[in-house]
Amino acid sequence: YDGKNLLTGDTLFIGGWGRTDLPGGSAEKLFASLHGSIMKLPHRTVIYPGHDYGAVTHRTLGEEARKNKGLLASDLKSFLRLSA
């Protein structure tokens, strides 16, 4: 994070989030990263995921927060249901 941009790697994608079913994956840790760290950044932060799966390659955190179901999940239980 350079104060304006964030490379999210395999943690946060445009419209999605990283897989937790792979070896070493943890939905609990991912939720903590998304909601405990990333969502505390300014909503004007531009996110650049490690992969793009569509026409949109970057987006502000505020835009993503309004559209991404993983970021809209208000608690771990809700996030776990989405990640199942």
**Three-state SS at 25:** coil
Which tokens in the block code for residue 14? 């445009």
Task: Specify the pLDDT at position 83.
Answer: 86
How many angstroms separate the CA atoms of 42 and 21, rounded? Answer: 29
Measured distance CA(20)–CA(84) in Å, rounded? 9
From CA 17, how far away is CA 4, in angstroms rounded?
A: 20
CATH topology (fold) of 5-83: Metallo-beta-lactamase; Chain A (3.60.15)
**Cα(12)–Cα(48) distance, rounded to whole angstroms?**
9
pLDDT in tens, 1-36: 999 999 999 999 999 999 999 999 999 999 999 999
Where are the domains positioned within the chain? 5-83
| Residue range 63-80, pLDDT digits in tens | 999 999 999 999 999 999
pLDDT confidence bin for 84, thresholds 50/70/90: confident
pTM of the predicted protein model = 0.90
